[in-house]
Amino acid sequence: MDGQRNFVKVTSMRLAIGLLEKDDSYSLTCGPPEAVKKNSIYYVIIEPSGFDMVEVAKKIKLEFLKFKEKESIVKAISMDDFTRVIPAGESHIVESGIGQAYK
């Protein structure tokens, strides 16, 4: 096999964690930043390296709590739910904001 290898340099691998609202119920999701921003009411974008999963989950919950309109809903979501939605390994927050699905 004399094939040529093409290496692609990934400058940044980002994922977003979002708070979804559907039929008066709420859930967390993780996916590509643009899709999560479009479908979530709040979102946080994370990149690899930094803090362990539990620490990042705490930081994400604190970011979501900054949006006072849904504070009681965010408080009701368990830390386990935040931890489950985060990819394995270390990561850190690079951005947070209000998603396009915010009413």
- The verdict on residue 39 lying in a domain is yes
CA 103 to chain centre: 19
**Residue span of the structural domain in which 67 resides:** 15-98
Domain total in the chain: 1
What does pLDDT average to over the chain?
92
Which residues fall within 8 angstroms of residue 30, CB to CB, at 6 or more apart?
15, 16, 17, 18, 36, 85, 86, 87
Nearest-angstrom CA–CA distance, 101 and 34: 12
- Does the residue 10 lie in any domain? no
Task: Name which residue leads in pLDDT, 7 or 63.
Answer: 63
Average pLDDT on 14-35 reads 95
Query: Is residue 55 domain-resident?
Result: yes
Contacts 24+ apart (CB under 8 A), 7-12: 12/47
pLDDT of res. 103: 75
